[in-house]
Structure 1
Amino acid sequence: MIDRNSDRQEVPVDPETGKPYINTLAAVAIAPSGTGAELSEYVAQAVGVIRESGLPNETNAMFTNIEGDLDEVLQVVRDATYKLASQGYRTGVTLKLDTRPGFTSQLHAKAELVDKILKQD
Protein backbone atom coordinates (compact mmCIF):
# COMPACT_ATOMS: atom_id res chain seq x y z
CA MET A 1 0.00 0.00 0.00
CA ILE A 2 1.24 3.50 -0.87
CA ASP A 3 1.81 5.85 2.05
CA ARG A 4 2.43 9.49 1.02
CA ASN A 5 4.07 10.17 4.38
CA SER A 6 6.51 7.28 4.27
CA ASP A 7 10.17 7.96 3.51
CA ARG A 8 10.43 4.62 1.70
CA GLN A 9 8.13 2.58 -0.53
CA GLU A 10 8.30 -0.88 -2.00
CA VAL A 11 9.85 -0.67 -5.46
CA PRO A 12 7.52 -2.28 -7.99
CA VAL A 13 8.99 -4.54 -10.66
CA ASP A 14 7.79 -4.38 -14.25
CA PRO A 15 6.39 -7.87 -14.91
CA GLU A 16 7.44 -7.77 -18.57
CA THR A 17 11.05 -6.66 -18.15
CA GLY A 18 11.79 -7.68 -14.57
CA LYS A 19 13.28 -4.21 -14.01
CA PRO A 20 12.41 -2.01 -11.05
CA TYR A 21 9.95 0.73 -12.01
CA ILE A 22 11.18 4.03 -10.57
CA ASN A 23 8.40 6.55 -11.16
CA THR A 24 9.94 9.90 -12.00
CA LEU A 25 8.65 13.42 -12.40
CA ALA A 26 10.98 15.66 -14.37
CA ALA A 27 10.94 19.39 -14.89
CA VAL A 28 13.12 20.19 -17.89
CA ALA A 29 14.00 23.31 -19.83
CA ILE A 30 16.05 22.87 -22.99
CA ALA A 31 17.22 25.86 -25.02
CA PRO A 32 20.13 26.82 -27.27
CA SER A 33 22.65 29.58 -26.67
CA GLY A 34 23.57 32.25 -29.19
CA THR A 35 20.38 32.20 -31.24
CA GLY A 36 19.01 35.61 -30.29
CA ALA A 37 16.44 36.88 -27.84
CA GLU A 38 13.48 34.73 -28.90
CA LEU A 39 13.90 31.02 -28.17
CA SER A 40 10.36 29.74 -28.75
CA GLU A 41 11.13 28.24 -32.17
CA TYR A 42 13.93 26.14 -30.68
CA VAL A 43 12.12 25.28 -27.46
CA ALA A 44 9.18 24.07 -29.57
CA GLN A 45 11.49 21.59 -31.31
CA ALA A 46 12.56 20.10 -27.98
CA VAL A 47 8.99 20.06 -26.65
CA GLY A 48 7.88 18.33 -29.84
CA VAL A 49 10.26 15.45 -29.13
CA ILE A 50 8.92 15.19 -25.57
CA ARG A 51 5.30 15.17 -26.75
CA GLU A 52 6.03 12.53 -29.39
CA SER A 53 7.51 10.26 -26.69
CA GLY A 54 4.08 9.26 -25.45
CA LEU A 55 5.03 9.92 -21.83
CA PRO A 56 2.59 12.08 -19.86
CA ASN A 57 3.79 15.67 -20.08
CA GLU A 58 2.70 19.27 -19.84
CA THR A 59 4.40 22.52 -20.75
CA ASN A 60 4.18 25.74 -18.76
CA ALA A 61 5.91 29.10 -19.14
CA MET A 62 9.23 27.86 -17.75
CA PHE A 63 9.47 24.06 -17.97
CA THR A 64 8.03 20.94 -19.49
CA ASN A 65 7.08 18.35 -16.90
CA ILE A 66 7.37 14.68 -17.82
CA GLU A 67 6.36 11.54 -15.92
CA GLY A 68 7.46 7.95 -16.43
CA ASP A 69 10.06 5.37 -15.48
CA LEU A 70 13.44 6.95 -14.76
CA ASP A 71 15.12 5.32 -17.78
CA GLU A 72 12.33 6.46 -20.12
CA VAL A 73 12.34 10.02 -18.79
CA LEU A 74 16.12 10.33 -19.13
CA GLN A 75 15.98 8.95 -22.67
CA VAL A 76 13.35 11.53 -23.66
CA VAL A 77 15.41 14.36 -22.13
CA ARG A 78 18.44 13.09 -24.05
CA ASP A 79 16.48 12.90 -27.31
CA ALA A 80 15.00 16.40 -26.87
CA THR A 81 18.47 17.80 -26.11
CA TYR A 82 19.92 16.03 -29.11
CA LYS A 83 17.28 17.64 -31.34
CA LEU A 84 18.97 21.03 -30.82
CA ALA A 85 22.54 19.92 -30.19
CA SER A 86 22.62 17.89 -33.42
CA GLN A 87 21.93 21.13 -35.32
CA GLY A 88 25.18 22.52 -33.93
CA TYR A 89 23.71 24.67 -31.17
CA ARG A 90 25.30 24.93 -27.77
CA THR A 91 22.36 23.67 -25.72
CA GLY A 92 21.60 24.28 -22.07
CA VAL A 93 19.51 21.85 -20.08
CA THR A 94 17.97 22.58 -16.69
CA LEU A 95 16.66 19.37 -15.15
CA LYS A 96 15.04 18.57 -11.84
CA LEU A 97 13.98 15.00 -11.01
CA ASP A 98 11.71 13.65 -8.30
CA THR A 99 11.88 9.86 -8.15
CA ARG A 100 9.20 8.20 -6.09
CA PRO A 101 9.01 4.42 -6.30
CA GLY A 102 5.54 2.97 -5.91
CA PHE A 103 3.73 6.07 -7.10
CA THR A 104 2.17 6.74 -10.49
CA SER A 105 0.08 9.50 -12.05
CA GLN A 106 1.75 12.21 -9.98
CA LEU A 107 1.89 14.81 -12.77
CA HIS A 108 -1.44 16.24 -11.65
CA ALA A 109 -1.84 14.59 -8.24
CA LYS A 110 0.75 16.86 -6.59
CA ALA A 111 -1.03 20.04 -7.67
CA GLU A 112 -4.41 18.56 -6.69
CA LEU A 113 -3.10 17.76 -3.21
CA VAL A 114 -1.82 21.33 -2.75
CA ASP A 115 -5.19 22.70 -3.93
CA LYS A 116 -6.98 20.43 -1.48
CA ILE A 117 -4.83 21.64 1.41
CA LEU A 118 -5.37 25.28 0.43
CA LYS A 119 -9.15 24.81 0.35
CA GLN A 120 -9.04 23.48 3.94
CA ASP A 121 -7.46 26.72 5.18
Structure 2
Amino acid sequence: MTFTRSKAIEKPYVLTAVQSFLVWVFTLTICLIVVGLPVGFPLAIVGSLSVAALEMVSPISGVLLVAGTILSANLLIVLLGAAFLTLKGIHPHEVTWLGWLHGDAEPIYSSTFAACPLTCEVDQPEQ
Protein backbone atom coordinates (compact mmCIF):
# COMPACT_ATOMS: atom_id res chain seq x y z
CA MET A 1 0.00 0.00 0.00
CA THR A 2 2.78 2.43 0.88
CA PHE A 3 4.68 1.57 -2.29
CA THR A 4 1.63 2.36 -4.44
CA ARG A 5 1.09 5.73 -2.82
CA SER A 6 4.73 6.76 -3.09
CA LYS A 7 4.76 5.97 -6.81
CA ALA A 8 1.53 7.93 -7.33
CA ILE A 9 3.09 10.98 -5.71
CA GLU A 10 6.16 10.87 -7.98
CA LYS A 11 4.18 10.45 -11.19
CA PRO A 12 3.13 14.10 -11.69
CA TYR A 13 6.71 15.26 -11.12
CA VAL A 14 8.00 12.78 -13.69
CA LEU A 15 5.37 13.86 -16.20
CA THR A 16 6.19 17.52 -15.54
CA ALA A 17 9.89 16.80 -16.02
CA VAL A 18 9.26 14.92 -19.28
CA GLN A 19 7.00 17.71 -20.53
CA SER A 20 9.59 20.32 -19.57
CA PHE A 21 12.32 18.32 -21.32
CA LEU A 22 10.28 18.00 -24.52
CA VAL A 23 9.39 21.70 -24.56
CA TRP A 24 13.06 22.58 -24.04
CA VAL A 25 14.05 20.26 -26.90
CA PHE A 26 11.51 21.98 -29.16
CA THR A 27 12.60 25.47 -28.09
CA LEU A 28 16.31 24.78 -28.43
CA THR A 29 15.76 23.16 -31.83
CA ILE A 30 13.93 26.27 -33.06
CA CYS A 31 16.65 28.50 -31.64
CA LEU A 32 19.31 26.33 -33.30
CA ILE A 33 17.53 26.64 -36.63
CA VAL A 34 17.21 30.43 -36.34
CA VAL A 35 20.72 31.03 -35.03
CA GLY A 36 22.16 28.14 -37.01
CA LEU A 37 21.44 29.74 -40.35
CA PRO A 38 24.26 32.31 -40.10
CA VAL A 39 26.45 29.83 -38.25
CA GLY A 40 25.72 27.19 -40.87
CA PHE A 41 27.72 28.83 -43.62
CA PRO A 42 31.11 28.62 -41.86
CA LEU A 43 30.16 25.13 -40.66
CA ALA A 44 29.43 24.09 -44.25
CA ILE A 45 32.78 25.47 -45.39
CA VAL A 46 34.66 23.61 -42.67
CA GLY A 47 32.63 20.49 -43.39
CA SER A 48 33.36 20.57 -47.11
CA LEU A 49 37.07 21.07 -46.46
CA SER A 50 36.97 18.14 -44.05
CA VAL A 51 35.24 16.01 -46.66
CA ALA A 52 37.90 16.85 -49.24
CA ALA A 53 40.67 15.98 -46.80
CA LEU A 54 38.99 12.73 -45.72
CA GLU A 55 38.35 11.61 -49.30
CA MET A 56 42.08 11.82 -50.00
CA VAL A 57 43.16 10.01 -46.86
CA SER A 58 40.59 7.38 -45.98
CA PRO A 59 38.64 4.87 -48.06
CA ILE A 60 35.34 5.52 -46.23
CA SER A 61 32.84 8.04 -47.47
CA GLY A 62 33.91 11.39 -46.08
CA VAL A 63 30.53 12.94 -46.81
CA LEU A 64 28.68 10.45 -44.60
CA LEU A 65 31.24 10.75 -41.82
CA VAL A 66 31.28 14.56 -41.75
CA ALA A 67 27.51 14.95 -42.17
CA GLY A 68 26.86 12.36 -39.47
CA THR A 69 29.31 14.07 -37.13
CA ILE A 70 27.79 17.52 -37.66
CA LEU A 71 24.20 16.30 -37.24
CA SER A 72 25.10 14.20 -34.20
CA ALA A 73 26.91 17.13 -32.57
CA ASN A 74 23.88 19.40 -33.10
CA LEU A 75 21.51 16.77 -31.75
CA LEU A 76 23.75 16.15 -28.74
CA ILE A 77 23.96 19.89 -27.98
CA VAL A 78 20.17 20.23 -28.05
CA LEU A 79 19.53 17.13 -25.92
CA LEU A 80 22.22 17.96 -23.35
CA GLY A 81 21.01 21.56 -23.13
CA ALA A 82 17.42 20.44 -22.59
CA ALA A 83 18.49 17.88 -20.00
CA PHE A 84 20.60 20.47 -18.16
CA LEU A 85 17.77 23.02 -18.07
CA THR A 86 15.28 20.39 -16.95
CA LEU A 87 17.52 19.04 -14.20
CA LYS A 88 18.23 22.57 -12.95
CA GLY A 89 14.47 22.98 -12.52
CA ILE A 90 14.08 25.80 -15.03
CA HIS A 91 10.66 25.40 -16.59
CA PRO A 92 9.90 27.03 -19.95
CA HIS A 93 6.91 28.95 -18.55
CA GLU A 94 9.26 30.76 -16.13
CA VAL A 95 11.41 32.25 -18.90
CA THR A 96 10.22 35.72 -19.92
CA TRP A 97 11.53 35.71 -23.49
CA LEU A 98 9.54 32.57 -24.30
CA GLY A 99 6.19 34.38 -24.39
CA TRP A 100 5.74 33.27 -28.00
CA LEU A 101 5.91 29.67 -26.85
CA HIS A 102 3.04 29.70 -24.38
CA GLY A 103 0.82 32.14 -26.27
CA ASP A 104 0.80 35.26 -24.14
CA ALA A 105 -2.03 37.47 -25.32
CA GLU A 106 -0.29 40.73 -24.50
CA PRO A 107 3.19 41.07 -26.00
CA ILE A 108 5.84 42.97 -24.08
CA TYR A 109 6.88 44.98 -27.12
CA SER A 110 4.56 46.51 -29.67
CA SER A 111 5.83 46.94 -33.17
CA THR A 112 5.84 50.40 -34.74
CA PHE A 113 5.84 50.68 -38.48
CA ALA A 114 7.38 53.54 -40.41
CA ALA A 115 4.16 54.21 -42.33
CA CYS A 116 1.99 54.40 -39.23
CA PRO A 117 2.23 58.20 -38.72
CA LEU A 118 0.98 58.65 -42.28
CA THR A 119 -1.83 56.12 -42.26
CA CYS A 120 -2.92 55.52 -38.67
CA GLU A 121 -5.17 58.56 -38.44
CA VAL A 122 -6.74 58.18 -41.87
CA ASP A 123 -10.41 57.37 -41.56
CA GLN A 124 -12.06 54.94 -43.91
CA PRO A 125 -14.67 56.56 -46.16
CA GLU A 126 -18.16 55.29 -45.50
CA GLN A 127 -19.87 53.53 -48.33
| Bigger RCO of structures 1 and 2 (CA < 8 A, at least 6 apart) | 1
Shorter-chain TM-score category?
under 0.3
**Quick check: which one's helix share is greater?**
2
**Quick check: which one's strand share is greater?**
1
**TM-score of the pair, normalised by structure 2:** 0.25
**TM-score of the pair, normalised by structure 1:** 0.25
